Amino acid sequence: MIRAGSLTAPQRVELMGLARSGLVEHRVARRANALLLLDEGWSCERVAEALFVDEDTVRRWGKCYLRGGLAELTSFDVGGSASHLTPTQEDAVRTYLAQRLPRTTRQIGAFIEKEFGVVYESRSGLIALSHRLGLEYLEPELVGRKLDADKQRAFLDSYEKLLNSLGPDEAVVFADAVHPTHAARPVGCWAPKKGPTPALEQTSGRQRPNVHGAIDLKDRQDRF
């Protein structure tokens, strides 16, 4: 049974990830939450009262995790963890996800229904399937557009020289134009857990003028 301080740091990290994630099934997050509370020193009775389950259920969750780790903790005897797809079909879905990086589970469900005629009735089922296939929902990283390492190094060198040459009453001030939205906005997607983080090259709209206000020089009235 899980007692106070019995979980290792990696175990706490993986359970905390499940408990805090908004993408996993509620029942999985609740199990992870229960184990973390036990590790904090809560009794089975107190955990059961907090999560509105019985004590034997909490004990069973602890035994499942100690016996089979995350795989057994997230499986369900009533069929919740069973896939509606064959291994061959799962491989096809895994390939589709890795190649297309769909933004939503709706896209995943549409692909499965079109290719195999299998309908997933709930979003949670598609989330569980995606996790079982080794994918997770990732936010892409923005990659700067037209980066030049040599120019960056040259700027840093010149900036360092400038700082070293400033007088006691001088300072360096940076200014830039204000653009409401001129760059690409990244959105999350389903991607392989062990694969590289998706990257998105920034787009630039600095060539477009953004007029927030103007003064009519004829009658001196503001125009917004």
DSSP annotation of 62 reads H
Whether the Cβ atoms of residue 15 and residue 7 lie closer than 8 Å to each other: yes
User: What tokens were used for 32?
Assistant: 């992870």
Q: What is the CATH number of domain 83-144+184-202?
A: 1.10.10
Summarize pLDDT for 41-62 with one digit per residue, the tens.
999 999 999 998 888 889 888 8
> What is the SS3 assignment for 130?
helix
Summarize pLDDT for 59-93 with one digit per residue, the tens.
888 888 888 888 878 876 444 444 578 888 889 99
Nearest Cα neighbor of 213 from 201, 202, 197, 224 is 224
- Delimiting residues of CATH 1.10.10 domain(s) in the chain: 9-73, 83-144+184-202
The Cα 200–Cα 82 span in angstroms is: 35
The Cα 136–Cα 159 span in angstroms is: 42
Summarize pLDDT for 164-197 with one digit per residue, the tens.
998 888 888 876 655 555 556 677 788 777 666 6
User: What tokens were used for 63?
Assistant: 């035994």
Supply the pTM of this predicted model: 0.40
Percent helix, strand, coil in the chain, to 5, is 45, 10, 45
To the question of domain 9-73 being in CATH 1.10.10, the answer is yes
Q: End-to-end CA distance of the chain: give it in Å, rounded.
A: 67
